[in-house]
Amino acid sequence: MRHSNGVGRIFLANVGVNAQHRLVSPLLDDGSFTLVTIPEETRGLPAYGDLAHMRASVPERYWGRRTHYDPEFDTFTYGDNCASAPRAVALKACQPGDWLFFIARLVGGEGPVFALVGALELDSIFEDLRSRPPDDALERVKANAHVRRALADPAWWNGFWVFAGGPASHLFDRALIVGRQEAELLFRNRLGAAWDWRPGRSDLQTIGSYTRSCRCVIDPALDANRAAEWWALVRERVGFAHGDSNQD
């Protein structure tokens, strides 16, 4: 059931390569970026060299390596193991009409930052997939990394979920960098309190720590003012409003 006010809750997921990987998601001076997804040598997944936008950002020596290409903004899907991965459990509360935003670690000329890179306006949710779905459902989600590897090896039908985005879903043209100022405006911890910026930890470490697990960060029904501030910031920084369409 869609939200009656037409604007859903805002969930946040941390995606892409991070400080533990040798690859980085590059951020250019004009704010453009490439979201580089994590390496994973599993049958059924594409290689970095199979993805045109990755070839421009990933060193050629990695082109033959496979990647867990998720989220993918070709057909707008995101998958996660909501039943078995503690970091993803909160996504089980998502409903059609909610928004799933993605935050990623990007590396530019001044070093690493966290930034919002895109969003799905959830249109369909495929729960607890443990076998090949009917053809109409499979057609909708077949580009997702979880589905790709399960089609190649049925052992991967392990109860994962796939979140599919509708026509308002977007990969942003430029990154919305999230520093301490933006985080204090937009985010709260799981108890609804402001983040604790402890001495001895960098802002980057604090942001990474609080965004490691997926969660609902704003519910307009409970905090309409902060929801309005969120959308105003997104519109101002990346020119995207929740009524826009990726088909325009």
Asked if residue 154 belongs to a domain, the reply is yes
**Domain interval for residue 99:** 10-237
Identity of residue 237: R
Structural Rg of the chain based on CA atoms? 18
The residue among 133, 79, 90, 95 whose CA lies nearest residue 221 is: 95
Determine, yes or no, domain membership for 3: no
Question: What CA–CA distance (Å, rounded) separates 55 from 96?
Answer: 34
Domain total in the chain? 1
Q: With cut-offs at 50, 70 and 90, classify the pLDDT of residue 247.
A: low
Structure tokens at 63: 């082109």
Between CA 107 and CA 178 the distance in angstroms is 13
pLDDT of 135 > 80? The answer is yes
> How many CB atoms lie under 10 A from the CB of residue 105?
23
Q: Is residue 109 part of a domain?
A: yes
pLDDT, average across residues 21-30: 96
Q: Please check whether residue 34 lies inside any domain of the structure.
A: yes
The answer as to whether 246 is a domain residue is no
What pLDDT was estimated at residue 5? Answer: 47
Q: What is the DSSP string of the chain?
A: ---TTS---EEEEEES--TTSS--EEB-TTS-B--PPPB---TTSPBGGGSHHHHTTS-GGGTTSBB---SBTTTTEEEE-TTT-GGGGGGGG--TT-EEEEEEEEEETTEEEEEEEEEEEEEEEEEEE-SPPPHHHHHHHTTSHHHHHHHH-GGG-SSEEEEEE-TT-EEEEEEEEE-HHHHHHH---TTSPPP---TTS-HHHHHHHHTSS-EEEE-TTT-HHHHHHHHHHHHHHH---TT--TT-
pLDDT, tens only, 225-234: 999 999 999 9
Q: Report pLDDT digits (tens) over 86-120.
A: 999 999 999 999 999 999 999 999 999 999 999 99
**Alpha-carbon distance 127 to 58, whole Å?**
33
Q: Answer whether residue 175 is part of any domain.
A: yes
**Claim: this prediction has a pTM higher than 0.85:** yes
pLDDT of residue 186: 85
Q: Residue 74: pLDDT above 80?
A: yes
Q: Is residue 2 situated within a structural domain?
A: no
pLDDT, tens only, 50-72:
999 999 999 999 999 999 999 99
The DSSP bridge pattern shows strands 215-218 and 160-165 to be unpaired
Residue 4 belongs to some domain of the structure: no
Q: What does the alpha-carbon distance between residue 24 and residue 38 come to, in Å, rounded to a whole number? A: 9
CB-based burial label for 155 (10 Å; 0-12, 13-18, 19+): exposed
Average pLDDT in the chain: 93
